[in-house]
Structure 1
Amino acid sequence: MHICFLIHNAYGIGGTIRTTFNLATALAEQHDVEIISVFRHRRVPFMGAPPGVRITPLVDRRSASPDYDGDDPRYAQRARVFPRADGRYHQYSRLTDERIRQHLSGLDADVIVGTRPGLNVHIARQAHPAAVRVGQENLTLSGYGLRMRHEMRHRYPSLDALTTVTEADAHAYRQLNLPGVRVEAIPNSVPAASVQPADGTGKLIVAAGRLTPTKRYDLLVTAFAQVVAAHPDWQLRIFGNGDATGDAKQSLTALIRELGLSRKVFLMGKVNPLEPEWAKASIAASTSAKESFGMTIVEAMRCGLPVVSTDCPVGPREIITDGVDGRLTTSGDVDGIAAALLELVGDDELRRQMGEAALRNSARFDPARIAQRHLDLWSDLLRRGPVRRSPGAVRDAAHRALTRSFDAAHTLRSAAGDVRKMSKQAAAPKERDQHPS
């Protein structure tokens, strides 16, 4: 089977890249696999090229490269196929529209898989008619606005199937009522750890992920203060970079200092690979307000760690079996998080049993097993044969009209925001005059 993945930028770093590489590597053992990367900004992929997989870049952003595309006049023109509602729209152009169309239309593939909404739209509109078209959704439907949902309802019926990473999100996408589109939940894959599993003796709790407000590390740190009060020989290490502003890291550092935990809680920055750090610990923690899946939860479990996680929408409850291989706590409940951590910290045998269960149960996310689930779906679709549905002239006209209304509303909101900003700037000197220092 010839399988192609269309991805934003295979040369960067991120969860979608990692999961695509994991799946592609497993598939490449028996199939012809290609990753089509819309952009290229470095010579080799940051996360390492998956073995046995071809990577085909379409637009070269390397200014020193002889293939540099930044001087092409189409590079500066707005995209017409890639939807404005996708958060990456500002990076796309008439050039990407054309390069994607050229490559997809001439691609002799059995299956073409998109990895984000804007690219799923490209596949729906431009993929070779003989190929099965599959859209992957790596984020939750609730994270998209009305405009993106409108785009999905209009374009996704031209897909053969849509896959999500959780059953909860598959249910949400089915409510879009996409005629004839098969919606299936297939989780992300995580390879077996390349290190010895944790033995449960390290007096260490580990969390990992970007230092953003959504991860709610403030809850974890506050809960850990209760843990260390009863067990002062334990530590907490948090791995991950901060956001672009650095505000989240500063706030977290201030909280650690305020709680007197500077010698107990450590912000470790980004570490690659992370597996050796998981293996040093005895418990993993995740206190996010929301997750589209929970890759770090699975990674920790594959290293033999029980995971204490908030039962946030939508991923953790589909990964952790509460009381068996980890604990699920109410989202936002500091005392609940602390109680779950204390239960495991204070019981060596329970911690060992849950760690063994985590290692055993997480094997269901092995790339070979996940790859087979995708293959089963694609083989079924190929037997049925690709289904081609055109929205039709009337629906296309209605879609364009509604899209224009979204654009007009966005323009008005932007203008109103500019006016408010200018008003504040104009008022600022007057306020200073009225309140001299």
Structure 2
Amino acid sequence: MKIGRRRSLSARGGRLRAAFLVLNLDGMGGTSRSAITQANALARRGHLDVRLVSVTRSGDRPHYDIDPSIRVDYLCDVRPADQGVADPRADRPSVLVPKRWDGQFSALTDHGLSAHLPELDVDVLVTVTPALLAVAVQLVRRGVAIVHQEHRSSADRVGGMEPLLAFAPRADAVALLTESTASWLAAQLGAVAPEIVVMPNPLPIAEQPRSSLDSRTIVAAGRIVQEKQFIHLVRAFEQVADELPGWRVRILGDGPLREELVAHVAKAGLADRVELPGSVTDMAPEWAAAAVCALSSRTEGFPLVAQEAMSAGVPVVTYDCPSGPRELVEHEVSGLLVGAGSKAGLAAALLRLGADDDLRERLGAGALEAAKRYDADVIAAQWEEVFGRVVDRRRAIVRDEGTLQEGGTRVRSSRTTPPFTREQGPVDPPLVTPVEARHEALTLATRAADRAGDGWFVIPLHDAAAPTVVVPAAHRRAFLDGLADAPDHLSLRDPGDRGWPERRGTVEAMRATLANAAPNRLALEPWPRAKGRRSHLAEDAGVEIEFWDRLPDGTLVAPRPNRWTSRVPAEAPRTQVSVAGVTVPTVAAMATPTAHEVTFPIDVVYTWVDGDDPEWQAARDAREGSDARREAAGQARFRSRDELRYSMRSVHAHAPWVRTIHLVTAGQRPEWLADDPRVKVVDHREILPADALPTFNSQAIETALHRVPGLAEHFVYVNDDVFLGRPVRPELFFSPGGDFAAYVGDGAIGLPGSANKPFLHAAANNRRLLEDAFGVTITQVMAHTPHPQRISVLREVEERFPEALARTARAPFRSEGDVSLLSSLAQHYGLLTGTAFEGAAEHAFVDLSNARVERQLRQLRARDKHFFCVGDHHDFAVDAAEVDQLLGDFLEDYFPVRAPWER
């Protein structure tokens, strides 16, 4: 059914014809109200032919007044049977709009849309929901320009995401309510994004009476649902009610959580000061009688409640929630922004406005001035510019195609919008370790906090991902100003809490972006990517900053949970600690190590030989009983590609908590290794019996590593072809109580008698020993990872299986009688005796001999593995010299920071 007056284009003097496509004009929905307000404003200006198209008709007339010059079309009648003719198609599901997109569509709406949209004779069609956008781009003529106006906070939405992202590229333009949501959509769509514009909702055309701001009334309005979080407002008011005598809260609206809210008001003893009168049909008198407007929502598209309050000269206190408040309310100019979800911050803001008449007057005047930007005529003029642009572009596209035929695939416009976030830094990262980068970031952050004001402190690292600089929220702007001298290789990241998308930029750019924002936390850290790849400073190299709100008594309140407390009273004892080499203030209770972190000393032990040393080679050739098998004594077992240098670099960069590195060798020393107190070279003669030397068997050397002089009880055994791929904490290797991790591999030891490689022979021998001792069978080999160990456990194993270890120690080359003490036996023994636990870590093995070596090395550049091993072999699928070059280039690129012990 269609109603309305038809006017031809020629009768209108050649003006553009625009239509708004809405689901239903007859209800009280905010989207329909916005469409009607925009249409009315455009009609009043007289520059366009304006039409409203409603998919359904549910009442006898639209709920909101429509300008008489506007044509109104209804496509489907869904009124009850006693008011119209019931149609059985209304009960069947829609094909055009799947229920997961929008459950309000049906086979009846499919019929109405399919019958009328292809015949729609307009120049531009505005859709107001993602489902309507999806239908429009498939059904309207190719000559009609489509503009989609997105009304919800898209970055936090659930329903409608799929059709929005799928069909937005086929629109001629997409209008979003705020810059933040526009940037979000541009980042989601990337190169296929259409023209994206920011177009806020207009204020109602009727003039709004101004408030005198002396009523001592805080007004909030909206449907009483979880999203609006009115209980936050009540709890915030509860904190300051005694400080604001005569003030009251008035929450207008209805909804399923109303009774729950009433009960909480009664429990808080505020029944005489918090009013819940229900819904009102005209908000203008309410705003004229308000002194403060309060928004406590989890998300807001572009809150009309705040717009209307501001048009009455009422200042707004609002959570800085996605996505509209920070773009509607200018902090300290037209209202006060509070960190999203911070009830303490909301309470403090209400107290400021309630207790300071001059502040309330100043912000009220600012709100009135700001509201002029949303005058319906101002917004309508902006729409006319957009419509003219997209229609010209659409006509050019159709003209270039040489046809105005119906149907077919729509051609999107080519304009795109810059992405929302950047991961790539503007400059190369400095050649420093993550802990050195953290030192720089923490120094800058603490300097900025000190300049901003007193009360700040640092939550030390402990076993967390990063230390946290706590700054009173009132100093947020001053703190950001204090970061002005940050270098370009550091970025400022907004983690995107409480529905905000994550954003990153240079400190300068983010300071500008956050100038009118109230983020609860930020991170100051190096850029995670450099030269198109993950940087060596991508992790564990920055600091977090949290902004804590201050209660009237000086107590600081945390915006999110932490391990210690949700509140720090002003009189809480403070002390000084060292974090990443920076001396900082902290709360005394936070300075003590926790039960979750490892505090005992940990060493690293390497075994290494220079296989190119002629004397060593001669000794190997002369050793009696040499095993001829290449797997046991071949040159590949001793080939050096400088792996040790880079493996030790990985420890320096990624495990700065290591106390001492012990390098166990056959009387040799790498030519690049300088004297350094952190590295001790140990000769085989110091730990192995004389009759076991010289040895060329790593499993023999393993039997004696716990005898290294001065070795810590807890140490990590690392082969020179194993690398730490990312920053690691000691808790990855040991429990706080001292148990060690055993990284069980995927490979099976195999059935008895099936071993065909030296390491499997050793695994089978380990299995026999443990079966005899404990009556259980081990099935898996250990992964190619670093191996945490304990001296006391190794001594216990030695005492329990002395013959097996002595036999292995005296085998000059790997033999079928060996056990593998540090790379299998001790781990399984620990698991069986309760001194070890099965560890969890991401690790990789690269076989340098296979054809996939280049691809495997490239995959490691993602830096997502805790450890990786580059295993050698005798036979290569790729030329050995090429492998040498590939590995050398990879290691230098992956570990670019020289260790202090390198010459």
From 286, 301, 309, the equivalent of 1:292 is 301
- In 2, Cα distance between the equivalents of 1:316 and 1:152? 23
Residue 377 of structure 1 deviates from its aligned partner by 1.0
Residue 213 of structure 1 deviates from its aligned partner by 1.2
Aligned position for 1:108: 121
Contact 1:35 1:56 in 2 (8 A): yes
- The change in CA–CA distance for 1:287 and 1:276 in structure 2 (over 3 A counts) is same
Aligned position for 1:58: 75
- The answer to which of 73-82 and 119-128 deviates more is 73-82
2:250 is aligned with 1:241: no
- In 2, Cα distance between the equivalents of 1:17 and 1:369? 19
1:41-89 CA deviation, whole Å, 9 max, x = no partner?
Answer: 1101122334432221111112356752x33x543432222243323x3
Q: Structure 1 or 2: larger helix share? A: 1
Residue 195 of structure 1 deviates from its aligned partner by 4.2
1:119-134 pair list within 5 angstroms: 119-134=132-147
- The change in CA–CA distance for 1:75 and 1:222 in structure 2 (over 3 A counts) is closer
- The answer to which of 264-273 and 382-391 deviates more is 382-391
1:190-229 pair list within 5 angstroms: 190-191=203-204, 194-229=207-242
* AA at the equivalent of 1:170: A
- In 2, Cα distance between the equivalents of 1:303 and 1:287? 20
Contact 2:99 2:105 in 1 (8 A): no
Residue 228 of structure 1 deviates from its aligned partner by 2.2
1:198-224 CA deviation, whole Å, 9 max, x = no partner?
Answer: 011111111111111111111111111
- The change in CA–CA distance for 1:299 and 1:148 in structure 2 (over 3 A counts) is closer
> What root-mean-square deviation, in Å, do the aligned CA atoms of Structure 1 and Structure 2 show?
2.0
- In 2, Cα distance between the equivalents of 1:131 and 1:368? 25
Contact 2:142 2:410 in 1 (8 A): no
Residue 374 of structure 1 deviates from its aligned partner by 1.4
- The answer to which of 224-233 and 299-308 deviates more is 224-233
Aligned position for 1:77: 92
Residue 104 of structure 1 deviates from its aligned partner by 1.5
1:381-420 pair list within 5 angstroms: 381-386=390-395, 387=397, 390=409
- In 1, Cα distance between the equivalents of 2:43 and 2:261? 42
1:37-436 pair list within 5 angstroms: 37-64=54-81, 68=85, 70-71=86-87, 73-87=88-102, 89=103, 91-145=104-158, 148-175=160-187, 176-177=189-190, 179=192, 181-191=194-204, 194-243=207-256, 248-386=257-395, 387=397, 390=409
Extract unaligned runs of 5+ from structure 1: 393-437
Task: Among all aligned residue pairs of Structure 1 and Structure 2, give the percentage whose two residues are the same amino acid.
Answer: 34
Q: Secondary structure at the residue paired with 2:24?
A: coil
* AA at the equivalent of 1:260: G
- The change in CA–CA distance for 1:264 and 1:7 in structure 2 (over 3 A counts) is same
Contact 2:156 2:322 in 1 (8 A): no
* AA at the equivalent of 1:303: A
Contact 1:83 1:121 in 2 (8 A): no
- In 2, Cα distance between the equivalents of 1:200 and 1:192? 23
Contact 2:203 2:374 in 1 (8 A): yes
- The change in CA–CA distance for 1:304 and 1:66 in structure 2 (over 3 A counts) is closer
Q: Secondary structure at the residue paired with 2:245?
A: coil
Aligned position for 2:19: 4
1:379-423 CA deviation, whole Å, 9 max, x = no partner?
Answer: 11122225578389xxxxxxxxxxxxxxxxxxxxxxxxxxxxxxx
Contact 1:157 1:178 in 2 (8 A): no
Residue 275 of structure 1 deviates from its aligned partner by 0.9
Contact 1:163 1:184 in 2 (8 A): yes
- The change in CA–CA distance for 1:231 and 1:216 in structure 2 (over 3 A counts) is same
Residue 196 of structure 1 deviates from its aligned partner by 2.4
- In 2, Cα distance between the equivalents of 1:151 and 1:308? 34
Contact 2:311 2:372 in 1 (8 A): yes
- In 2, Cα distance between the equivalents of 1:156 and 1:378? 17
* AA at the equivalent of 1:117: P
* AA at the equivalent of 1:6: L
Contact 1:125 1:158 in 2 (8 A): no
- The change in CA–CA distance for 1:160 and 1:296 in structure 2 (over 3 A counts) is same
TM-score, L = length of structure 2:
0.41
* AA at the equivalent of 1:81: L
- The change in CA–CA distance for 1:64 and 1:328 in structure 2 (over 3 A counts) is same
Contact 1:25 1:51 in 2 (8 A): no
Q: Secondary structure at the residue paired with 1:219?
A: helix
Residue 144 of structure 1 deviates from its aligned partner by 4.0
Aligned position for 1:417: none
Residue 181 of structure 1 deviates from its aligned partner by 1.4
TM-score, L = length of structure 1:
0.83
Aligned position for 1:17: 32
- The change in CA–CA distance for 1:205 and 1:366 in structure 2 (over 3 A counts) is same
- In 2, Cα distance between the equivalents of 1:270 and 1:23? 24
Extract unaligned runs of 5+ from structure 2: 1-15, 399-407, 412-903
Q: How many residues align?
A: 383
